[in-house]
Amino acid sequence: MLALIDYGAGNLRSVENALRAAGARDVVVTADPEMVSAAERIVLPGVGAFGACMDALTALPDMVETLTDRVVGAGTPFLGICVGMQLMADSGEEHGTHAGLGWIGGTVRRMPDAAGLKIPHMGWNDVTPMRPHPLVVPGEAYFLHSYAFDVADPAALLAVTDHGGPITAAIGRDTMIGVQFHPEKSQAYGLAFLSRFLEWKP
């Protein structure tokens, strides 16, 4: 069973539909930590501001503790999408400084304003792997964000995209991975990525 976390901050139906299109047979959209405890894979989506998303996740009784136990402790394969990926950081600086889950060292900061660059970073852009990883391959994916994950440990940086310089596109360690792009909006590339996640045996 795959648990898709419902904390009021994600594009749930689109992500659920994309997971099913990629081959997932048993997707449960849930805010119940007991369902998360029983899951074989966990997906945390996220749309909106870092602090508001973290507050919404924390507001679900026992959810953060259960996620940490399952992902960090038990090694359950985990995928964070967009803000769901950003929440894996130590902290985020959107509308003040907010603590994150602290699973992967780093800070989520506003992307730098530069001449000719539009913020938010929106649309199709290249995904360039920084190191070999079974889930991350070169290609084009759909991005929509104004803040980016500044990763503390280069070993956790799996892929970048370019928007006035390298911007984090994917992070990961052990059995967890996070992507800044939206697989559910990335057509063939996104479905192939989700399919690899569904088959991943880290």
Catalogue the active-site residues.
Answer: 82, 182, 184
Strand partners, 122: 144
Cα 95 to Cα 2: distance, rounded to the nearest angstrom: 32
Q: Which residue has the tokens 């009784």?
A: 61
Peptide bond between residue 61 and the one before it cis (omega within 30 degrees of 0): no
Q: ∠ CA 57-4-66 to the nearest 5 degrees?
A: 50
φ and ψ at 111, to 5 degrees?
Answer: -65, 140
Cα 33 to Cα 63: distance, rounded to the nearest angstrom: 5
- Residues whose CB falls within 8 Å of the CB of residue 116, separated by 6 or more in sequence, listed in order: none
Question: Are the beta carbons of 104 and 88 closer than 8 angstroms?
Answer: yes
Q: Which residue has the tokens 């985990």?
A: 78
The first and second tokens of residue 70, run together, are 């399952």
- H or E element: which one contains 188? helix 187-199
